[in-house]
Amino acid sequence: MLARTLKYFRSIVLITCTLLANTLQAENVIRTDGVALITSTLDKDIYRTRAIENAFQNLASKGIQTLDSFSIIENGQVLIDQVHLASKLGIQEYSVIKEEIKGKTYHVTLDVVLSGQLNKEKNNLCLRASPPSVDFSIVLEKKFNKMPSWVEFSDNFISQAIAARKFEPKLRRANIHFDDKAQSSSMYSLYKKDNTKKSPDNFYRLHSNVVLEPSRSINLIEKTHKLNIKIFSYVTRKDKKILEQTVEDQFIIQQRSLNGLISPVTRRDWPSTKDKIANFILETLDQQLTQLNCLKFFPKIHAKSGNIYLDYGSLDGITPSDMFLLKNSDAKKIYFKLENLEDHQAKIKIVSKVESLEGLVGSEVEVVSGS
């Protein structure tokens, strides 16, 4: 009886493990579609291969894979190496479960088996801007009329703190504008004025607006004075906003019981509280600058002297190995390669076969390799 029970239990365990294994395997199967535009009377296997490549490209756009290089075949000629997919997971195998020709397009549907646990989070392909410096300005709006008289920010307190901080990239020509509701407004600069030749304006600028506003709360036990800090900052490139953030925090300035016997926070704590406020502002600026390490943008094609360019370059995150894909919804993929790279400009050359370049000027491209 015992032997029969054990045999039955083993069978249940075996069936359960098999079902779990099949479930885990199913979770690692991704279905993806691809199409290829039929442009000539080439062998259909060429268009089948191209449609499969497109299916992998679509998989990459979902963040499952990353494209490293390409296989571009035009009129039977291989223009660029081959499609090469890199992934943290890896592709174990794939199978074509459906393929058909509809009019002038070849359609395929693939089941792709990934190794490891599937990570469904989108793989953020981003570019790292590395300008040597960023133009900076900050406006501080102080509303201290309802605060204790000993609560003050000297005019150069924040400017000195910013000047002492080592930011990456560096802050250049930083101006500070104090808008004090209790005092007259004045303009200050972190750097002394000189008559030396100024370098060209930066493409990148960081601006922050800091509002310091008091609040007060009273309950049956205590009375508390607080200073609310709200920081709105943004980064522009060529005067176009590319990053922005808003952060808030609250600092206790004074706290005491209604009978006056207990005062957890007093005037003696103000110097350390002021340092904490300054550090909060500095860390917020650091966070905004750190976002330059991962930018997503789509440069537009512009023409000059018979050549085509992008108004992004090496300081914007473009690398010599990058290639570019026209950002459109057509089945035909149009690729470009890099010919010359400057700080804020890239000369590109079309790789795919097109009838005319005129219709491409003003179109957006996306970086699909080298990042």
Interacting residues of 177 by C-beta distance below 8 A, sequence separation 6+:
137, 138, 139, 140, 185, 187, 188
Would you say how long the chain is, in residues? 371
Angle between helices 157-164 and 270-290 (to 10 degrees): 50
Question: Sorting pLDDT into bands at 50, 70 and 90, what band is 93?
Answer: low
Mean of the per-residue pLDDT values of the chain? 75
Q: Distance between CA atoms of 231 and 247, rounded to whole angstroms?
A: 5
Which region among 11-20, 74-83, 113-122, 228-237 has the lowest average model confidence (pLDDT)?
A: 11-20
Q: What are phi and psi of 298, to 5 degrees?
A: -130, 95
Q: Is the pTM of this model over 0.75?
A: no
Which region among 99-108, 115-124, 140-149, 211-220 has the lowest average model confidence (pLDDT)?
A: 115-124
Q: Distance between CA atoms of 100 and 117, rounded to whole angstroms?
A: 32
Is the separation of the CB atoms in 297 and 127 below 8 Å? yes
Paired strand residues for 229: 212, 249
In order of 57, 125, 189, the CA distances from 19 in angstroms are 32, 36, 69
Topology of domain 2-114, per CATH? Dodecin subunit-like (3.30.1660)
Question: Sorting pLDDT into bands at 50, 70 and 90, what band is 149?
Answer: confident
Q: Distance between CA atoms of 33 and 341, rounded to whole angstroms?
A: 35
What long-range pairs does 328-337 form, CB within 8 A, spacing at least 24?
328/363, 330/37, 331/35, 331/36, 331/37, 331/54, 331/105, 332/37, 332/39, 333/54, 333/57, 333/72, 334/360, 335/70, 335/72, 335/80, 336/308, 336/365, 337/80
Q: For residue 61, what pLDDT is reported? A: 60
pLDDT score of 74 more than 80: no
Q: H helices within the chain, ranges in order?
A: 2-27, 44-61, 157-164, 270-290
pLDDT digits (tens, 9 = 90+) for 7-35: 443 444 343 343 333 433 444 677 889 89
Interacting residues of 361 by C-beta distance below 8 A, sequence separation 6+:
301, 302, 303, 308
Q: For residue 261, what pLDDT is reported? A: 65
Q: For residue 329, what pLDDT is reported? A: 53
State the pairing for strand pair 335-341/301-304. Answer: unpaired
Question: Sorting pLDDT into bands at 50, 70 and 90, what band is 369?
Answer: low
40-49, 206-215, 216-225, 322-331: range with highest mean pLDDT: 206-215
Q: For residue 124, what pLDDT is reported? A: 47
Is the separation of the CB atoms in 288 and 129 below 8 Å? no
In percent, how much of the chain has pLDDT > 70?
Answer: 68
Q: Distance between CA atoms of 123 and 296, rounded to whole angstroms?
A: 12
Of residues 351 and 247, more confidently modeled: 247
Q: For residue 219, what pLDDT is reported? A: 78
Q: For residue 166, what pLDDT is reported? A: 92
Q: What is the dihedral of CA 159, 160, 161, 164, to 10 degrees?
A: 120
Of residues 284 and 67, more confidently modeled: 284
Residues 139-157: what's their mean pLDDT? Answer: 80
pLDDT digits (tens, 9 = 90+) for 159-175: 889 989 999 999 987 56
Q: Distance between CA atoms of 182 and 144, rounded to whole angstroms?
A: 7
Of residues 144 and 191, more confidently modeled: 144
* Tokens at 123, concatenated: 């793989």
pLDDT score of 132 more than 90: yes
pLDDT digits (tens, 9 = 90+) for 307-331: 999 999 999 999 988 888 888 756 5
Residues 332-344: what's their mean pLDDT? Answer: 87
Per domain, the residue ranges of the chain are 2-114, 135-145+170-293, 301-367
In one-letter notation, the amino acid at residue 177 is H
Q: With CA atoms as reference, report the closest residue to 326 among 300, 303, 355, 296.
A: 300
Question: Sorting pLDDT into bands at 50, 70 and 90, what band is 155?
Answer: low
Q: Distance between CA atoms of 253 and 212, rounded to whole angstroms?
A: 12
